[in-house]
Structure 1
Amino acid sequence: MRFVQLGLAVALAAGCVAGSSAPAGADEGVLHQVTYSVFAEQPFRAADIYYRDTEPANWSDYSHDPYVFSPKVEADVGPTQKWVLNVQLANPDEWAMVAATSGLSKTPPNFHCVLAVDGVVVAENSGPKGALCSLRHW
């Protein structure tokens, strides 16, 4: 009788596990809210801003063509004009990144970038002609 009860318990447990399968995409982990911000001390038209909004499946995909995963936008920025973008990333420690540059401009706009993950600022940087904010050392 004990073997029958044990067999029923095992079958019931297996049925519960099979019936509670995780939804598609659950293996990817928790998505984090990543906020990129860029502004400049001097008004600047058409700053080149590169950011990461998509994570590659692996490093080789990224290294084969990094610009697929790092789109560029041109934005007007200044002391009162910020460029802000919110994205969701599973691994911001590896992939979150924003960079701004003035290219060949003769007037340095003094860029500032800020990177926040889940509402907490985790990286800030500034530079006369460009700034890079990332958790990973590139």
Structure 2
Amino acid sequence: MSLVLGTAVATADDQPLPPGPPLHHVQYTVFAETPFRNSEIYYRAVDPPNWADYSHNPYEFSPNVEADVGPNQMWTMDVMLANPDQWAMVTAGSLDSPKRPNFHCVIAVDGNVVVTNEGPKGALCSIRNW
């Protein structure tokens, strides 16, 4: 029987990462007063590293989905953001449709509603004044 003993060597990969900024639970909600199919919704999914990266390609940080919404059919999305005061944003619209479903958007951060908005053909909710 043989026994092999060795000394463990720590590498940079073994070191814990320094903690990042605390993340906040952000919930986006969109609905309309009358049913509307395929509404265009954009929302901020992640914090951009800086304004330059965001302005170079905002769609990299803002996914687009199409969703059916109505008074009893809400679209919601939960994301985690380090700086929601800077980056939390959701917008919904009816594009070129002549319909006016009166969209509503809501942003809640850590369980508290912080902004709402509405509009006949679209709505934009953002904590930051863009």
* TM-score, normalised with respect to structure 2: 0.87
In structure 2, the CA distance between the partners of 1:123 and 1:42, relative to structure 1 (3 Å rule), is same
1:58-69 → structure 2 map (5 Å cutoff) = 58-69=50-61
Which residue in the other structure is 1:137 paired with? 129
- Counterpart mapping for 1:73-84 below 5 A: 73-84=65-76
For the residues of structure 1 that align with 2:47 and 2:116, how far apart are their CA atoms?
21
Partner of 1:24: 17
The one of 83, 96, 111 equivalent to 1:104 is: 96
Distance in 2, Cα, partners of 1:23 & 1:48 = 41
Matched, 1:91 2:83: yes
Amino acid aligned to 2:122:
G
Distance in structure 2 (CA, Å) of the matches to 1:132 and 1:62: 18
Measure, in 1, the Cα distance between the counterparts of 2:69 and 2:60.
24
> SS at 1:53's partner residue?
coil
Aligned partner of 1:49 among 27, 41, 56:
41
Amino acid at match of 1:24: L
Distance (Å, rounded) in 1 between the aligned partners of 2:126 and 2:44: 10
What residue number does 2:3 align with? none
**1:128 aligned residue:** 120
Q: How far apart in 2 are the matches of 1:101 and 1:25? A: 40
After superposing on structure 2, the runs of 4+ consecutive aligned residues of structure 1 that deviate more than 3 Å are none
Larger CA Rg, structure 1 vs 2:
1
Structure 1: state its 5+ residue gaps.
1-21
Unaligned runs of 5+ in 2: 1-14
Deviations 1:18-37 (A, max 9, x none): xxxx94251x2110000000
